[in-house]
Amino acid sequence: MRRHWIDNLRWVTVLLVLLYHVIYFYNNKGVIGGIGGFGDGPQYQDVIMYILYPWFMPLLFILAGISSKYALEKRSGREWFKSRTRKLLVPSTIGLCFFGVFIGWFNSMTSPAAEALDQLPLAVKYFIWTISGIGPLWFIQDLWLLSLILLIIRKIDRNGRFMDLCSRAGIVPVILMGVLLWLGHRTLIMEPDPASAEGLWNLYKPAFYLIPFLMGYFVFSHENITEKLSRAWIPLMVCAVISGTALIIPGFGQDNTLPQYLCSPLNNIYGWLMCLAMMGWFKNRFDRTGKFADYMTRSSYGIYIVHYLVVASLGCTLKMHTQMSPVCAYIILTVAVFTLSPVIYEILRRIPFLRWCILGEKKSR
């Protein structure tokens, strides 16, 4: 039986990622990776980052864990991991050489080291562009690693005793599991050394994201658990909004990706309640499909992979090479990301080799 609410929640969350990256690209709150804001003003549109960041990536890992459980009921661990490698590892390694390199090139244009980079041989620049073109593909690199860890854990829980134990959880224990997110954030390095790989650890956060991924697999893959969330989605959403308001209003202006911000209890309370509320809401109201939903279910992964090229290329062009007002820049970039990303995806999936190495797909659907 297809759980349409999971499909719908996944592609809706992917669309929120696209919106987040538009805002993030022009943020002036110190969040690393964008091109910078339009001055020193407050930029109230940046509040979208504060609303989304605490929960939308943990939610995607929860959904990935749930889907992994259902997939492993139909195929062997070897078959499943082979498909995971093609779908996740190939686009985030081989695909970088053919697609990510263009993202890296645009990233280099806004780098403080842009002039020094120009003096390097083309082969060296190509390598740097490829690595810096990973962008949002860190998510699928993490997911491949977590999939490997899951196979090891399944061998330990060979008899499914832990799975059975998780199936008995009530709504209160599920809510209290949010403490695990806080513990996961405590694995971040509070003062990372810029000259080391500590910053990458804080970016990828594998120890943190392992927690929602495993909770998706062991806890939220049970119909009785998600049914409880479905019945409680309104109070969960109300509590999430209240906690989010208490977090965002006094914290607006801070870099909301810093470990100190992420480790705050209120950030984790808000993020966890939103994950639960969104799952309950979609289970209750959106467990159905249609033509558009079917298309997005099939295509959202590919759209996710290609969208940042639109953000980086057009975002740089609008800010660096035009005198356009900020309002127009945001509008044009938003419309472009939501329209051009599907177009690029549709073109790539029709070219056999690029379909395999960039999208991780064997055949055009």
* pLDDT at 53 exceeding the cut of 80: yes
Is residue 97 assigned to a domain? no
pLDDT score of 118: 81
Distances (CA, A) of 20 to 132, 299, 313, 343: 20, 19, 16, 20
Share of the chain above pLDDT 90, in %: 87
| Phi and psi based region of residue 360 (left: phi greater than 0; alpha: psi -120 to 50; beta: remaining) | left
Is residue 57 assigned to a domain? yes
Q: Percent helix, strand, coil in the chain (nearest 5)?
A: 75, 0, 25
pLDDT score of 52: 98
For residue range 291-343, list pLDDT tens digits in order.
999 999 999 999 999 999 999 999 999 998 899 999 999 999 999 999 999 99
Is residue 100 assigned to a domain? no
* pLDDT at 113 exceeding the cut of 80: no
* pLDDT at 116 exceeding the cut of 80: no
Question: What residue numbers bound the domain in which 43 lies?
Answer: 4-92+134-359
CB 50 within 8 A of CB 23: no
> Per-residue pLDDT averaged across 248-257, rounded?
95
Share of the chain above pLDDT 70, in %: 98
For residue range 201-249, list pLDDT tens digits in order.
999 999 999 999 999 999 999 999 999 999 999 999 999 999 999 999 9
- Other C-beta atoms within 10 Å of 13: how many? 20
* d(C-alpha 313, C-alpha 319), whole Å: 10
pLDDT tier at 180, thresholds 50, 70, 90: very high
pLDDT score of 111: 73
Amino acid at position 318, single letter: L
Is residue 164 assigned to a domain? yes
Tokens (6 digits) for 158: 């060979």
Tokens (6 digits) for 359: 């999208």
Cα angle value 85/198/39 (rounded, 5°): 100
pLDDT score of 40: 81
Task: Quote the number of domains for the chain.
Answer: 1
Is residue 334 assigned to a domain? yes
For residue range 123-165, list pLDDT tens digits in order.
999 999 999 999 999 999 999 999 999 999 999 988 889 999 9
> Per-residue pLDDT averaged across 17-37, rounded?
93
Is residue 242 assigned to a domain? yes
Is residue 215 assigned to a domain? yes
Is residue 298 assigned to a domain? yes
CB 203 within 8 A of CB 136: no
Average pLDDT, whole number, for the chain? 94
> H helices then E strands: how many in the chain?
21, 0
- Other C-beta atoms within 10 Å of 212: how many? 29
Prediction pTM value: 0.96
Going 77 to 78 to 80 to 85, the CA torsion angle's sign is positive
SS3 260: helix
Distances (CA, A) of 60 to 53, 151, 170, 272, 315: 12, 19, 22, 12, 25
* pLDDT at 364 exceeding the cut of 70: no
Tokens (6 digits) for 18: 């696209």
